[in-house]
């Protein structure tokens, strides 16, 4: 039985973290299954991915504390690398990834959501980096991505205090883009994914690359990167189609990912 499921719904796909008896906590098997679920995504046809958690209580309640409890230094580092490699794969996946956070997103769960392009959440969502209360540092990118997302001050406060925050505070500090009633979460995420999937896929991919890679460069180099990626859109079928549709005053566009 897999702890992570993948469902393809045409132009978008849904990955569900599915270990509800442990609030979808991440142990080695869950991480392996997440990696396998990512292998299943056909990047030629799927244009957006959603990651969510099974059940109404939890997205992911963190790395599995019971598994981590007995790790040696070397095993701890290896576990950290395993998670980091997968989260980095999500972050650099050529298609956009939306985290639909349906409850607890603590520790590794908050970090998983931050490896996605953006987050929406249900009104019962709770975010936090409780690691220092467990005697460890965030180990799946939390010390890096949280500060980049919400700024150093809030990130340091959240990490040093290990205090959990509710959905409304997560919205206020920019950790999530939208809060919706739990019953509407997946419909909202799917509508967003379908909307993204309607746009020219090559252009969307180039935007993801430009934003992700550009943020690590100085402005001159970042602008050069944008110019290169912009130039690469030309002479594609989808660039010709998008602009022709505008000139013909046509709403329907036949983007083919070519």
Give 12 or 79: the residue with its C-beta nearer to ligand DAK.
Answer: 79
CB of 229 vs ligand DAK, minimal distance in Å: 33
Residue 179: strand, helix, or coil: strand
Give 11 or 134: the residue with its C-beta nearer to ligand DAK.
Answer: 134
Picking from 173, 121, 180, 184, the residue whose alpha carbon sits closest to that of residue 150 is 173
Question: Distance (Å, rounded) from C-alpha 178 to C-alpha 96?
Answer: 17
- Provide the terminal-to-terminal Cα distance of the chain, rounded to the nearest Å: 37
Give 96 or 139: the residue with its C-beta nearer to ligand DAK.
Answer: 139
Question: Distance (Å, rounded) from C-alpha 136 to C-alpha 38?
Answer: 28
Question: Distance (Å, rounded) from C-alpha 188 to C-alpha 162?
Answer: 30
Give yes or no: 252 in active site. no
- Candidates 111, 169, 190, 224; catalytic one: 111
Phi and psi of 116, rounded to 5°?
Answer: -80, 165
CB of 115 vs ligand DAK, minimal distance in Å: 13
CB of 23 vs ligand DAK, minimal distance in Å: 4
Give yes or no: 131 in active site. yes
Give 13 or 128: the residue with its C-beta nearer to ligand DAK.
Answer: 128
Question: Distance (Å, rounded) from C-alpha 258 to C-alpha 101?
Answer: 33
* Site for ligand DAK, rule CB under 6 A: 22-23, 25, 61-66, 76, 79-80, 83, 104, 106-108, 130-131, 134, 136, 138-140
As a 3-state breakdown, the chain gives helix, strand, coil percent values, each rounded to 5, of 50, 15, 30
Residue 111, classified by CB atoms within 10 Å of its CB into exposed (0-12), middle (13-18) or buried (19+), is buried
Number of alpha carbons in the 13 Å side-chain half-sphere of residue 151: 6
Give 53 or 139: the residue with its C-beta nearer to ligand DAK.
Answer: 139
Residue 168: strand, helix, or coil: helix
Give 138 or 201: the residue with its C-beta nearer to ligand DAK.
Answer: 138
Q: Looking at beta carbons, which residue is closest to ligand DAK?
A: 139
- Candidates 67, 75, 131, 252; catalytic one: 131
CB of 46 vs ligand DAK, minimal distance in Å: 28
CB of 83 vs ligand DAK, minimal distance in Å: 6
CB of 96 vs ligand DAK, minimal distance in Å: 25
Tokens at residue 221, please? 């180099």
Tokens at residue 185, please? 């979460």
Taking the CA atoms of residue 102, residue 107, residue 112 and residue 116 in that order, the dihedral angle to the nearest 10 degrees is 80
What residues act catalytically?
111, 131
């Amino acid at each position: 039985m897999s702890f992570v499921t993948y469902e393809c719904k045409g132009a978008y796909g849904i990955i569900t973290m599915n270990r509800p008896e442990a609030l979808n906590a991440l142990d080695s098997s869950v991480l392996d299954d997440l990696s396998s679920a990512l292998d299943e995504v056909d990047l030629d046809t799927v244009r957006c991915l959603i990651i969510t958690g099974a059940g109404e209580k939890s997205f992911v309640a963190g790395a599995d504390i019971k598994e981590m409890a007995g790790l040696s230094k070397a095993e701890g580092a290896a576990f950290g690398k395993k998670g980091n490699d997968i989260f980095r794969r999500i972050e650099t996946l050529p298609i956009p990834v939306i985290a639909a956070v349906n409850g607890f997103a603590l520790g590794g769960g908050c970090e998983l959501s931050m490896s996605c392009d953006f987050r929406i959440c249900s009104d019962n969502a709770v975010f936090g980096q409780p690691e220092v209360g467990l005697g460890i540092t965030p180990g799946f990118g939390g010390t890096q991505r949280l500060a980049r997302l919400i700024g150093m001050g809030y990130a340091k406060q959240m990490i040093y205090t290990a205090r959990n925050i509710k959905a409304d505070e997560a919205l206020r500090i920019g950790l999530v883009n939208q809060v919706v009633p739990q019953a509407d979460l997946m419909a909202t995420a799917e509508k967003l994914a379908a909307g993204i999937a309607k746009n020219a896929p090559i252009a969307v991919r180039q935007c993801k690359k430009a934003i992700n890679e550009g943020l690590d460069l100085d402005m001159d180099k970042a602008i050069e990167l944008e110019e290169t990626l912009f130039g690469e859109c030309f002479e594609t079928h989808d660039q010709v189609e998008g602009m022709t549709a505008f000139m013909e005053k046509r709403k329907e566009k036949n983007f083919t990912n070519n």
